[in-house]
Structure 1
Amino acid sequence: MPKQEGQKSKLLTLLRILEQKTDEEHLLNVPQLVELLEQQDILAERKSIYSDIDTLRSLGYDIQLRRGRGGGYWLASRTFELSELKLLVDAVQASKVVSARTSSKLIHKLEALCSDYEGTQLQRQVYVDGRPKSDSHTLLYSIDALHSAINAGRMVRFRYKDSGTRTVSPWQLAWENGCYYLIAYQDEKEPAGIRNYRVDRMSSVTVLGDARRGKAEFRQFDLPAYLRKHFNMFGGPEYRVTLRCTADLESAMRDRFGRTPLFVPEEDGAYFHFDVPVCVSPQFYGWVCGFGGKVEVTAPAEVRKGIHDMVQALAKQHD
């Protein structure tokens, strides 16, 4: 037989029922709420349900009533709207560095933030079969350890890909191209300086007792500017590069370099040019080539020669 429960336990159970079993399309009337409480071995009188709902409303829960035939109560407002949860699910599924196993666990937890009926819509979100996913099951632990080290101002040690152990001073974490990167100062090897490391390629991340170094280097560090200069996060010598582009690429260049560069239109209106700092790498050259001749490196001479030599080598390779 159902037993009389304490008021707090009853309120929590009633709230959970409203969270899981109701939304704007799925309502529960008082007899149904009484029945669902009894299924959880909680005795409830119909009159007490009205009082309980008023109590939950006074605590800030947006419980609405639709009167008439087929009417009932539902939880109208939640921490996340369904559309927001769909965006989060898509982000988890799209991430290359979140393993399939971890993705499934995270999405299951997101489902708990909406009704059971809306949760089925999260499962039906677009998923590209075969999308590359990391096989790292320790990513979340690595991120947690790195955050702890950054907050405590401590150095870290980790194994990186197949290149052995690294000891660096962590300063920031960044999300770029679907991957987490650690932005750190390294002085193990010459030249010392700011480097980035993909977090999903780390293992055995350990927070050390030594205070991190590189304070002077990071005093004026600008993370957005750093990300704009590094194409696909590859390093290289930094140059002030002049790019000449066709007029239709203005929005694409703004997407890449932001609002800072001054775009100078040329007299015929068909082209514009601008200067930006770039860490020049084969990835940068590949980005330029990807526009099919609509982007030209006009300066400096050594960068212009670099892209010329790469294109010549590719042409020879594909003869």
Structure 2
Amino acid sequence: MNAMKVDNRAQIRLFALLNYLYCDSDEKHPVSVLDILKHWRSNGINASRKSVYNDIALLMKLGIDIVCIKSTQNLYFIGSRVFELPELKLLVDAVESSRFITPKKSRVLIQKLGRLASSAQAAQLKRPIYMDGTPKPENEAIYYIVDSLQTAIQESKQISFQYYEYLPSKEKVLKHRGYRYQFSPYALIWNRDFYYVVGWSEKHNKIAQFRIDRMTGIKLLDLPTRQTQDFDPTVYVQKVFGMYPGDLQTVTLLCRNHLMRSIIDWFGEDVQTKVADTDHFLATVEVAPSPPFFGWVFTFAGDIRIVSPENVLEEMREMARWLQ
């Protein structure tokens, strides 16, 4: 029995030391043997300096990365962590700025991320990210909806759900008086800071997409997913989202040099380009001639022009006449 008590006390002491090092030490804030003894005493643990050395040696033997700064009194801190501080800052920035995550959930997630750092490092994570004015969502159930959708995709099961819409008064109501959609989810797609689920809709009898933050009452059905042979998430995103609805065509654009960044933003670094003259370059892209694409070209006020093919250029002219 006495041996058991000793073992329990040693385990508690070891855990208290590990917790202290993780929470209160880092490269800029190492702790001394005296700091560790003081922490132990504040938790009702009486031990000697020898216990500090023995316990640190044991933790290091167990694989904990404890760095020792040798001096008149040795200093210790946790070296590598699951996430380094710069990585945590990136994750916090992503959570804070995401339009998909509600303000309440953002605070909770950032607090949890802070627990992966020392207390001093966690304080550096509490800084505001200034967004462009687009509000965050209020649907707290969205995380459970995403989890249900991922489960349905992994298990190849259908789901049913209801969908929200908005009245001119901005009142949120269920679409089609609470109609329950029967749906075979294929993939989750993140586009322009919104989350969508894509799959086969029994109501529409075709592949369709729904905004996840507007879904509610989701239920997993004991029915196998209705499969389609020609579904490719990459192709679907290109054709349906952004400026690509319809059949793709090869289009050549004449662009002013300062717009190379905009071309790469839309078409990726693999986009085919070549120098046209000292002020312009040509970009050859795959798009579908459509109002979203023409509208994108219009936003550059002539700094991007369609060169070929002629039928696409004529459609652009027709749209310009319609706008007049």
* Equivalent pair of 2:254/2:306 in contact (CA under 8 Å): no
Give the TM-score normalised by structure 1: 0.84
Aligned match of 2:87: 84
Aligned-partner Cα distance in 2 for 1:247–1:106: 43
* Equivalent pair of 1:27/1:71 in contact (CA under 8 Å): no
Aligned-partner Cα distance in 2 for 1:211–1:64: 54
Secondary structure of the structure 2 residue equivalent to 1:132: coil
Aligned match of 2:300: 291
Alignment partner of 1:20 is 2:29 = no
Q: 1:152 aligns with which of 152, 155, 178?
A: 155
Aligned match of 1:226: 236
Q: Kindly tell me: are residues 266 and 216 of structure 1, through their superposed partners in 2, closer, same or farther at Cα, counting changes over 3 Å? A: same
CA RMSD of aligned residues (A): 2.8
Aligned match of 1:173: 188
Aligned match of 1:112: 115
Aligned 1:35-184 pairs, distance under 5 A: 35-68=38-71, 72-128=75-131, 130-162=133-165, 163-164=175-176, 165-184=180-199
Aligned partner letter, 1:257 = F
Q: Kindly tell me: are residues 56 and 285 of structure 1, through their superposed partners in 2, closer, same or farther at Cα, counting changes over 3 Å? A: same
* Equivalent pair of 2:68/2:75 in contact (CA under 8 Å): yes
* Equivalent pair of 2:101/2:136 in contact (CA under 8 Å): yes
Aligned partner letter, 1:289 = F
Secondary structure of the structure 2 residue equivalent to 1:161: strand
Aligned-partner Cα distance in 1 for 2:94–2:81: 20
Alpha-carbon offset, residue 116 of structure 1: 0.5
Give the TM-score normalised by structure 2: 0.83
Q: Kindly tell me: are residues 254 and 282 of structure 1, through their superposed partners in 2, closer, same or farther at Cα, counting changes over 3 Å? A: same
Aligned-partner Cα distance in 2 for 1:158–1:245: 46
* Equivalent pair of 2:187/2:198 in contact (CA under 8 Å): yes
Identity level (%): 30
Q: Kindly tell me: are residues 268 and 156 of structure 1, through their superposed partners in 2, closer, same or farther at Cα, counting changes over 3 Å? A: same
Point out where structure 1 has 5 or more consecutive residues left out of the alignment: none
Aligned match of 2:284: 274
Secondary structure of the structure 1 residue equivalent to 2:222: strand
Aligned match of 2:255: 246
Alpha-carbon offset, residue 33 of structure 1: 0.9
Aligned match of 2:169: none
* Equivalent pair of 2:254/2:307 in contact (CA under 8 Å): no
Aligned partner letter, 1:274 = T
Alpha-carbon offset, residue 260 of structure 1: 5.3
Aligned match of 1:258: 268
Aligned match of 1:213: 226
Point out where structure 2 has 5 or more consecutive residues left out of the alignment: 166-174
Which has the larger displacement, 258-267 or 248-257?
Answer: 258-267
Aligned-partner Cα distance in 1 for 2:278–2:99: 44
Alpha-carbon offset, residue 241 of structure 1: 4.8
Alignment partner of 1:203 is 2:212 = no
Q: Deviations over 1:271-296 (max 9, x none)?
A: 41424143x55433322222222223
Aligned match of 2:171: none
